[in-house]
């Protein structure tokens, strides 16, 4: 894999909380503007890795660099999509997205053009009819799409997604995956996407990171030959390489889980 000028490189990252080793010697290189899906057994440290990149979890040793310079997450705008939507009950969908935009862009009021851009984002996420609804009036899939719209609205170069679609039924999930890819294509950000679903990892990941724990964390980067953000999930599933790759990943995950 070639190292792009803005690669985010984590080297020998270890995290300790109260004497307990949470992440042990993890190294990975993330090229700019690619989607990386992360698979790995429960408890291996996927969320911890994401939190390190987000600056929410300090590491005790190792280095994190962007384009060769020290990377301090607090100096960057990073879009985060948690598993549990994270919407405030008193904000409508549009208020939620526009307030995230205003905070990250240090603005008090939206200009007419910014209002149009955010409206386009709602349209891209198939949320136009939900703009003025509160979270309690939205389905899980709609809430999660608002959460994704909010992460896109913050701008910035990084998007961190922690099992964002795990609570959705399969139809809502496929719709959310497709809408996410369409929007991502408009401005590809370096994306880390944790999932427990092997097929989702193959559908969404340009590179699939397989995490294991063998005398320290291992992260195997697998280039995905079937990745095609323009294709539907059915087209991807019909690709000759799709099921062999899914099978291989399932086997490797099973081996790591022993």
Ligand X SMILES: Nc1ncnc2c1ncn2[C@@H]1O[C@H](COP(=O)(O)OP(=O)(O)OP(=O)(O)O)[C@@H](O)[C@H]1O
What residues make contact with ligand X under the rule CB under 6 A?
17, 20, 22, 40, 42-48
Nearer to ligand X, 50 or 181 (CB): 50
Looking at the Cβ atoms of 20 and 113, the one nearer to ligand X is 20
Crossing angle of helices 93-104 and 140-153, in 10° steps, is 20
Residue closer to ligand X by CB (options 51, 150) is 51
Q: How far is the CB of 231 from ligand X (least distance, A)?
A: 28
Cβ-based nearer residue to ligand X, 20 or 136: 20
Q: Least distance to ligand X from the beta carbon of 20, Å? A: 5
Distance, in Å, from the CA atom of 234 to the CA atom of 214, rounded to the nearest integer, reads 36
In angstroms, give the least distance from the CB of 118 to ligand X. 31
Shortest CB 253 distance to ligand X, Å: 11
Pick the closer one to ligand X by CB: 16 or 157: 16
Q: How far is the CB of 47 from ligand X (least distance, A)?
A: 3
Q: What is the 3-state secondary structure (H, E, C) of the chain?
A: CCCCCCCEEEEEEEEEECCEEEEEEEEEEECCCCEEEEECCCCCCHHHHHHHHHCCCCCCEEEEEECCEECCHHHCCEEEECCCCCCCCCCCHHHHHHHHHHHHCCCCCCCHHHHHHHHHHHHHCCCHHHCCCCHHHCCHHHHHHHHHHHHHHCCCCEEEEECCCCCCCHHHHHHHHHHHHHHHHCCCCEEEEECCCHHHHHHHCCEEEEEEECCCEEEEEEECCCCCCCCCHHHHHCCCCHHHHHHHHHHHHHHHCC
Q: Which is nearer to ligand X, 2 or 20 (CB)?
A: 20
- C-beta of 26 vs 93, nearer to ligand X: 26
């Amino acid at each position: 894999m070639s190292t792009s000028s803005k690669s985010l490189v984590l080297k020998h990252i270890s995290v300790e909380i109260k004497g307990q080793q949470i992440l042990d010697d993890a190294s990975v290189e993330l090229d700019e503007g690619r989607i990386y899906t992360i698979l790995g057994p429960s408890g291996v440290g996927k969320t911890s890795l994401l939190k390190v990149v987000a600056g929410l979890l300090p590491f005790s040793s190792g280095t994190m660099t962007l384009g060769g310079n020290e990377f301090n997450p607090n100096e960057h705008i990073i879009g985060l999509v948690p598993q549990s939507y994270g919407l405030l009950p008193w904000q409508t969908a549009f208020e939620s997205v526009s307030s995230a935009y205003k905070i990250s862009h240090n603005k008090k009021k939206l200009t007419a053009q910014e209002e149009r851009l955010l409206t386009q984002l709602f349209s891209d996420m198939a949320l136009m009819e939900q703009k003025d609804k509160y979270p309690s009036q939205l389905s899980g899939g709609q809430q999660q799409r608002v959460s994704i719209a909010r992460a896109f609205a913050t701008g910035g170069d990084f998007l961190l997604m922690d099992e964002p679609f795990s609570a959705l039924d399969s139809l809502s999930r496929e719709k959310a995956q497709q809408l996410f890819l369409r929007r991502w294509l408009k401005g590809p950000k370096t994306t880390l996407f944790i999932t427990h679903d092997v097929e989702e990892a193959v559908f969404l990941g340009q590179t699939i990171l397989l995490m294991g724990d063998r005398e320290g964390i291992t992260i195997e980067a697998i280039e995905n030959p079937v990745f095609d953000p323009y294709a539907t999930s059915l087209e991807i599933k019909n690709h000759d390489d799709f099921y062999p790759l899914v099978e291989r990943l399932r086997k490797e995950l099973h081996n790591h889980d022993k």
